[in-house]
Amino acid sequence: MNFLAPLAFAFAASIPVVIVFYLLKRKRVVKLVSSTLLWQKFLADTQASAPFQKLRKNWLLYLQILLLALAVLALTRPFFATTAKPAQLRVVILDGSASMQAVDESPSRFERARTEALKWVDSLEPTDQMVVLLAGANTEVKQSATSEKAALRRALQACAPSDSPTRLVPALKMAESLVRDRRSAEVHLFSDGAVPDLTEFENKALPLIYHKVGQRADNLGITALDARANPEDATQRAIYASVANFSSNTMSADLEISFQGSLLETRPLTIPGGQTAPQVFKASQAKDGVFTVRLTGKDDLAADNEASIVSLLPKSVNVLLVTRGNRLLEKALRAVANVQLAVANDLTDAGAGFDFIVLDGIVPTSWPKGNVLAFRTVNTNWVESVAAVEAPVIVDWKSTHPLLRYAGFDNVQIVQSLTARAPTWAVSILEAPQAPLILAGDLGRQRIVWVGFDPLESNWPLRVSFPIFIANAVDWLNPANAKNSQLLIKAGDPFRLALSESVKSAEVKLPDGSTKQIAVDATANEIVFGDTAKQGVYHLRAGTNETTFCADLLDSAESNIRPRDELKFGEYTRVTATTVQRTNMELWRTLAAIGLAVLLFEWWWYHRRTV
C-alpha cells in the first residue's frame, strides 16, 4: 500500500489524547445520604488521592479509537499500485454524438462514459498528465495537458452531448498528434463504437484503449426526409420519410406529420426488426413553410425521433438552350415541369435573366456566369487533358449522385466522345476505361455538368434514362433548388447564407427559443453560423433577409445504436473493447464511509445506554 499524503499520519497523535480522557477520574458531586453502608466502594474511590484511574474495558473508547484511526488513514490517501504501467500522458476522448444520448445505460450512455472517465482522473499519479477532448459536432479541447485533477473534473463536467453524427476522425487525429513519439502514452476513447471504419489510422499504431458503453439497440429512427412536388397533383407536395427499426424485435409507433406546427396526419407503424419502412405523405401547401415528422413511440434514443424540412413552393425555371438544332434535347427539356425554355444559336450576354444555360456543342461568344449543362463543349478553364475517344465503353456510373438518380446506363452505346481528366472541383459520375465521360461539380459559385459526348451520337436518347437525367439536371442546376438544399443541414454542420446586401449583425433564433447574435464583417459576402449542434428549426435574420433552415440527424449509422465490441481500423486492424479498470485506486472514500458508519454506531450505542 502506498500513500499520497503520508504527513497526515501526524494526526495519529490525537489517539493518546482520547485515552487520557478515559484515565482521568471523574469530578465527584457531594450528595447527602442516610448511610454509607452501600457506598463503600465509592468511598474508596473518593479517598484515593491520585488524579488517574485504572483503564477499564469500555466499548465507546474502542469505537472512538477506531474512528480516529480511520480518519487519519483516509487523510493519508492510501492506494494500491497495480501491475498496470502508468502512462505519462493520457488523452481522454469523450464521444458526444447523438447515439450517446441513448438511455439503455442509466441515466444515459454519455453520463456513464463521463463517470468512467472521472474514475481515470482519480487514478492519475502526481507526475502524470491528462488531456480531455470532446468529440461532438466538432472536436473541442476541454482541457489541455495538466496534472490538476480538479481542472480535469471540471472539464469533464462541462462536456455535453450533441445531436450530430459521430465524428471521431478529427478527435483521433488530434490525439495522434499529441501522443506521437511518446513511448508511455495512451488514448482512452469512451464511446459506443457507432462509427464508420477508421481506415486512415490502420498503420499509425495509435495506442488506443476503447471503453465501450451501451447495452442494446432498441431504437426506431427517422433516417431520411424530403419534400417535393407531387408528380400526380401539381397543387400538392409529397413528403418522403424513411423510418428504420434497428432492433432485432418488432417495434410499433405512431408517425405524425405537421406543417408549421399544425398536425396534418397520424399514421400507425409496425416495423419488423432490422427493416425499413418508407412513408409518403401528400399535403396541400399554400405558402412556404416547414414540414415536421415525429415518432411518438418509446425507444432508447430520442434524437432521431423528429426531423424537419423547409418546403418552398416551386417556381418557374427559365432555361436557355444554345444549339444548332437538337429536337430530342429540346423536347426532353420542355417535358420537365415548370421549365420555361428559350432556344438560341449563340450566347452573347453571359446568360443574364436565365436560371441556367444548356450548351449543345457550341462554344458561345460569351461564356455563361451562371449554372451550365454543356454537351461536348470544352472550356479550358473547366477541364484539361481533353482527348477524343472512339466508341468508349461505359464501365461504371455513380448512381448515388443526384444527377443519376433512377438513371442507369445499361445498353447505352456511344459512337464518339471527348474525355477529360477530372479536375479538383468536379467528380466523375460516368466512367470509361480511358477517362470520365460526365463530370459534375461546383466551380466557385457556378454549378457545371459537363457531358463529353453528343447525345445524338449515341442511343442514349432512346433509353428512359435520358429524360430522367435531363429532369435531374434541371433540378440540380436550378438555383432555387440549390438554395432549398442548403436549408437542410446535418446537425453540427455550419449553415451558410449568401448576402445580397451589406449587414453589420445578424440574429439567430435557436430551436429552444433562445437567440444568438452574430457579428458580421461589413465586407463579408456570406454569413456562416456554426452553432447547430441541436436539431430543430432555426430562424436567421440578417438585415432585411429572414431565412428559416433546419438541422436534423438523418443518419442511419448513428441511429443504429448497437454498441460495437471492436473498432475497425482498415481491413486487418481491430481494437477490441477493454475491460481494464483504473489503476492506483485511492481508498480514502471507502475509509471515510467506514468511519461515518462507526460514528453513527457510536451515537446509537451511547444513546442506548443513557436512555
Can you list the pairs that 593-600 forms with residues at least 24 positions away whose Cβ atoms lie under 8 Å? 594/70, 595/67, 595/70, 595/71, 595/74, 598/63, 598/66, 598/67, 598/70, 599/67
pLDDT of 303 above 60? yes
**Based on the domain organization, do 496 and 542 belong to the same domain?**
yes
Can you list the pairs that 523-527 forms with residues at least 24 positions away whose Cβ atoms lie under 8 Å? 524/499, 525/498, 525/499, 526/496, 526/497, 526/498, 526/499, 527/496, 527/497, 527/499, 527/503
Of 87-91, 363-367, 520-524, 571-575, where does mean pLDDT reach its minimum? 571-575
Please give the residue range of the domain that contains residue 196: 89-215+563-583
Asked, for residue 282, whether it belongs to a domain, the answer is yes
Tens of pLDDT, residues 311-349: 988 888 999 999 998 999 999 999 988 899 999 999 888
As to burial, measured by CB atoms within 10 angstroms (0-12 exposed, 13-18 middle, 19+ buried), residue 355 is buried
Domain boundary among 445, 478, 511: 478
d(CA 360, CA 323): 5
Q: What is the CA 460 to chain-centroid distance, rounded?
A: 43
**Based on the domain organization, do 142 and 174 belong to the same domain?**
yes
pLDDT of 540 above 60? yes
Q: Which residues, at least 6 apart from 94, have a Cβ–Cβ distance to it below 8 Å?
A: 110, 113, 114, 117, 132, 133, 134, 135, 156, 159, 190
**Most confident of the following: 354-358, 441-445, 568-572:** 354-358
d(CA 528, CA 31): 91
Considering just the CA atoms, what is the radius of gyration of the chain in Å?
37
Domain boundary among 459, 478, 497: 478
- Pull the grid cell for residue 258: 405537421
d(CA 555, CA 562): 14
Share of the chain above pLDDT 90, in %: 53
Asked, for residue 166, whether it belongs to a domain, the answer is yes
Q: Which residues, at least 6 apart from 154, have a Cβ–Cβ distance to it below 8 Å?
A: 143
d(CA 133, CA 143): 7
Q: What is the DSSP letter of 457?
A: G
The reported pTM is 0.71
More confident residue, 24 or 165: 165
**Based on the domain organization, do 97 and 226 belong to the same domain?**
no
d(CA 256, CA 271): 16
> CATH number, domain at 535?
2.60.40.1930
- Pull the grid cell for residue 318: 427559365
Q: Which pLDDT score, from 0 to 100, does residue 539 have?
A: 95
Q: What is the CA 57 to chain-centroid distance, rounded?
A: 65
Share of the chain above pLDDT 70, in %: 89
Tens of pLDDT, residues 92-106: 999 999 999 999 999
Q: How confident is the model at residue 297 (pLDDT cuts 50, 70, 90)?
A: confident
Cα dihedral sign for 262, 268, 270, 276? negative
Asked, for residue 590, whether it belongs to a domain, the answer is no
Q: Which pLDDT score, from 0 to 100, does residue 51 have?
A: 60
pLDDT of 34 above 80? no
**Based on the domain organization, do 260 and 365 belong to the same domain?**
no
Best CA proximity match to 98, nearest among 165, 160, 156: 165
Q: Which pLDDT score, from 0 to 100, does residue 26 have?
A: 60
More confident residue, 573 or 441: 441
More confident residue, 388 or 596: 388
> CATH number, domain at 246?
2.60.40.10
d(CA 109, CA 214): 6
Backbone angles phi, psi at 345, to 5 degrees: -105, 0
Beta bridge partners of 281: 239
**Based on the domain organization, do 460 and 321 belong to the same domain?**
yes
Asked, for residue 82, whether it belongs to a domain, the answer is no
Averaged pLDDT, 4-9:
76
d(CA 152, CA 144): 9
* Sole residue written with cell 396541400: 284
pLDDT of 153 above 80? yes
pLDDT of 28 above 70? no
Average pLDDT, whole number, for the chain?
86
Domain boundary among 54, 77, 100: 77
Q: Which pLDDT score, from 0 to 100, does residue 602 have?
A: 72
Angle subtended by helix axes 59-75 and 588-610, to nearest 10: 160
Averaged pLDDT, 548-565:
94
Q: Which pLDDT score, from 0 to 100, does residue 109 have?
A: 96
pLDDT of 44 above 70? no
**Sheet strand arrangement including 371-375:** 339-344, 317-322, 356-360, 371-375, 446-451, 436-443, 426-431, 396-397
| Number of domains comprising the chain | 5
pLDDT of 27 above 70? no
**Based on the domain organization, do 471 and 432 belong to the same domain?**
yes
Q: Which pLDDT score, from 0 to 100, does residue 314 have?
A: 80
pLDDT of 30 above 70? no
Asked if 553 and 165 touch (Cβ cutoff 8 Å), the reply is yes
Q: Which pLDDT score, from 0 to 100, does residue 118 have?
A: 93
Backbone angles phi, psi at 356, to 5 degrees: -160, 165
Averaged pLDDT, 583-609:
72
What Å distances lie between residue 307 and 302, 428, 559, 596, CA to CA? 11, 32, 13, 51
Asked, for residue 588, whether it belongs to a domain, the answer is no
Q: How many CA atoms lie within 13 A of 551 on its CB side?
A: 28
Q: Which pLDDT score, from 0 to 100, does residue 610 have?
A: 61
Q: Which residues, at least 6 apart from 424, have a Cβ–Cβ distance to it below 8 Å?
A: none
Q: Which residues, at least 6 apart from 70, have a Cβ–Cβ distance to it below 8 Å?
A: 591, 592, 594, 595, 598
Asked, for residue 291, whether it belongs to a domain, the answer is yes
**Based on the domain organization, do 324 and 449 belong to the same domain?**
yes
Q: What is the DSSP letter of 573?
A: E
Question: Residue 173: how many CB atoms within 10 A of its CB?
Answer: 15
Q: How confident is the model at residue 56 (pLDDT cuts 50, 70, 90)?
A: low
**Based on the domain organization, do 186 and 281 belong to the same domain?**
no
**Based on the domain organization, do 418 and 446 belong to the same domain?**
yes
Asked, for residue 348, whether it belongs to a domain, the answer is yes
Asked if 164 and 551 touch (Cβ cutoff 8 Å), the reply is no
Q: What is the DSSP letter of 493?
A: S
> CATH number, domain at 408?
3.40.50.880
Asked, for residue 202, whether it belongs to a domain, the answer is yes
Of 84-93, 125-134, 222-231, 295-304, where does mean pLDDT reach its minimum? 84-93
Tens of pLDDT, residues 160-189: 999 999 889 899 999 999 998 888 899 999
**Based on the domain organization, do 474 and 331 belong to the same domain?**
yes
CA angle 180, 185, 190 (to 5 degrees): 105
- Pull the grid cell for residue 176: 495522434
**Based on the domain organization, do 488 and 460 belong to the same domain?**
no
As to burial, measured by CB atoms within 10 angstroms (0-12 exposed, 13-18 middle, 19+ buried), residue 29 is exposed
Q: Which residues, at least 6 apart from 262, have a Cβ–Cβ distance to it below 8 Å?
A: none
**Based on the domain organization, do 438 and 415 belong to the same domain?**
yes
